[in-house]
Amino acid sequence: MNHPDPKTFHVKSFGCQMNVYDGDRMTELLESRGLVAAEGGEADLVVLNTCHIRERAAEKVYSDIGRLNRKDGSRPMIAVAGCVAQAEGAEIPRRAPSVDIVVGPQAYHRLPDLIARAARGGRALDTDMPIESKFGALPARRRPGPTAFLTVQEGCDKFCTYCVVPYTRGAEVSRSWRAVVDEAKALVERGAREITLLGQNVNAWEGEDETGRCQGLDGLIRALDALPGLERIRYTTSHPNDMNEALIRAHGEVGKLMPFLHLPVQSGSDRVLKAMNRSHTTSSYLSVIERVRAERPDIALSGDFIVGFPGETDAEFEDTLKIVREVNYAQAYSFKYSPRPGTPAADMDGQVPPEVMDERLQRLQAEINAHQLAFNRASVGRRTSVLLERRGKKPGQLIGKSPWLQSVHLETQAGIGDLVDVEIVSAGPNSIGGIQLPGESRGPAMVAA
Ligand code: 5AD
Ligand code: SF4
């Protein structure tokens, strides 16, 4: 099908926060080339920014492509971006011939050229991992909300045996100190009050500061702490082995670093962790948690878990429940193991039957939910700050985040982007309710245009 030059576009991102960040940057890139954002079905160009981490996420792209066909037989120009694009490449248009563009996560800065090629009637595919960085080729940041993501590190060298990330996102690469600090400044100047530093292994970030000194993520966090107008700093996702002493200390010392740590363990069984090639044990993981808690006693912990990894026995699964109880997570994500083509675990013996995985997932989620509810209930009566992010369903209601990343609902005259003082008065499994305390809400710092 031949498409004229698209004038409007829609980017739809699935999966992790890095995809949300990439989706924002694609939006900014397309806008800088004069395209205008539009609703999904109406847009001349639809970019599906996909996730390949589990089979269900990867399959979703094909049903989404089918749904883009309009009643009158026309369809938009379709670009598949993200990790499915990287992993499946030319296989995508073979399976879904209506796809015009396939572009991997390290090549999306070339989207304008790919669109031009597709507009001329060709099919455009780019899954290179070019040496030149996409970041240097992207336009400056334009429109963050009060909370913004900032990718500081991409890729992974850990090769956990279940995971596609080292294949879809490539080797671990840190962005430079200068690039990150400049992007953070630009985000704050344009209204961001909270920045979440992103990386598949964000705590493996390393670089040289302006003076040529080697720095780790803690150094970067301390540099951002000094930015006027920035109120909150978070980072995700971390590997337990890269939680070094300096980063742990930062949790006790850096005022803007929020008391929240997402630290996936995946399983509570040392045998399973070994088979996963996680290169940490349950006791080394627990010792990191203990040290972080010593620095920051109120820290909220989050994790990721996989149930039904090949060979996982009932007793090994019980060990996972045990570590959930021991850590007492404030929240956690849990998934059924999903064999990914090309990963070592996909060919391992002892694949666990789906009904066993279902049962284990239900039990694990019940355990996690109970901890989450208890954590939320324990906040009732607490006074804390909330950064307002979006409107709620009820009139006058806004939703924001507590320092511990809980969603807080409250009625307020304050606006999105304000930091308000709140007393927590109610708690549910997924959110808490607050009332605003008297006093000024702290609006965004005034910045020169
Ligand atoms: N199957 C199930 N869950 C997975 N994850 C990564 N790969 C798989 C897989 N093949 C989970 C891990 C990781 C999170 C982002 O997704 O828990 O931390
Ligand atoms: Fe995947 Fe393991 Fe790397 Fe995390 S550390 S991205 S789970 S390979």
CB 60 within 8 A of CB 96: no
pLDDT for 2 equals 55
**Residue with tokens 């049962």, as numbered in its chain:** 359
Please report, for the chain, how many H helices and E strands are present, in that order.
14, 21
Say which ligand is closest to the CA of 201: 2
Q: What is the CA radius of gyration of the chain?
A: 23
Q: Whose CA is nearest to atom 16 of ligand 1?
A: 53
pLDDT for 440 equals 63
Nearest to 6 by CA among 45, 40, 39: 45
309 lines ligand 1 (CB under 6 A): no
Atom of ligand 2 nearest to the CA of 304: 7
163 lines ligand 2 (CB under 6 A): yes
Say which ligand is closest to the CA of 335: 1
Q: Using the mean position of ligand 1's atoms as its centre, give its distance from the Cα of residue 302 in Å.
A: 15
Instruction: Give me the sign of the Cα torsion angle 419, 425, 426, 429.
Output: positive
303 lines ligand 1 (CB under 6 A): no
The whole-angstrom separation of Cα 132 and Cα 271 is 41
Q: Using the mean position of ligand 2's atoms as its centre, give its distance from the Cα of residue 264 in Å.
A: 10
The whole-angstrom separation of Cα 392 and Cα 375 is 22
Angle between helices 217-225 and 245-253 (to 10 degrees): 20
Cβ neighbourhood burial of 253 (10 Å; 0-12, 13-18, 19+): middle
204 lines ligand 2 (CB under 6 A): no
Q: Using the mean position of ligand 2's atoms as its centre, give its distance from the Cα of residue 390 in Å.
A: 32
Which residue out of 153, 156, 238 has the highest number of ligand 2 atoms within 8 Å of its CB and is therefore the one to mutate? 156
Atom of ligand 2 nearest to the CA of 200: 6
pLDDT for 367 equals 98
Q: Using the mean position of ligand 2's atoms as its centre, give its distance from the Cα of residue 104 in Å.
A: 19
CB 414 within 8 A of CB 388: yes
Alpha carbon distances (Å) from 40 to 68, 93, 343, 413: 9, 20, 34, 32
Atom of ligand 2 nearest to the CA of 159: 8
The whole-angstrom separation of Cα 195 and Cα 144 is 10
Say which ligand is closest to the CA of 158: 2
Walk me through the domains of the chain, giving residue ranges and CATH numbers.
8-130 (3.40.50.12160), 133-378 (3.80.30.20), 383-436 (2.40.50.140)
Q: Using the mean position of ligand 2's atoms as its centre, give its distance from the Cα of residue 210 in Å.
A: 30
Q: Using the mean position of ligand 2's atoms as its centre, give its distance from the Cα of residue 270 in Å.
A: 17
**Residue with tokens 């391992």, as numbered in its chain:** 348
Per-residue confidence of the chain (449 residues) as pLDDT tens digits?
556 789 999 999 999 999 999 999 999 999 999 999 998 778 999 999 999 999 888 888 999 999 998 888 899 999 999 999 999 999 999 999 999 999 999 999 999 999 999 999 889 999 998 877 899 889 988 777 899 999 999 999 999 999 999 999 899 999 999 999 999 999 999 999 999 999 999 999 999 999 999 999 999 999 999 999 999 999 999 999 999 999 999 999 999 999 999 999 999 999 999 999 999 999 999 999 999 999 999 999 999 999 999 999 999 999 999 999 999 999 999 999 999 999 999 999 999 999 999 999 999 999 999 999 999 999 999 999 999 999 999 999 999 999 999 999 999 999 999 999 999 999 999 999 999 998 766 655 433 33
Q: Whose CA is nearest to atom 4 of ligand 2?
A: 200
**Residue with tokens 């990718």, as numbered in its chain:** 151
166 lines ligand 2 (CB under 6 A): yes
**Residue with tokens 């669109």, as numbered in its chain:** 115
Q: Whose CA is nearest to atom 6 of ligand 1?
A: 163
149 lines ligand 1 (CB under 6 A): no
Which residue out of 163, 169, 334 has the highest number of ligand 2 atoms within 8 Å of its CB and is therefore the one to mutate? 163
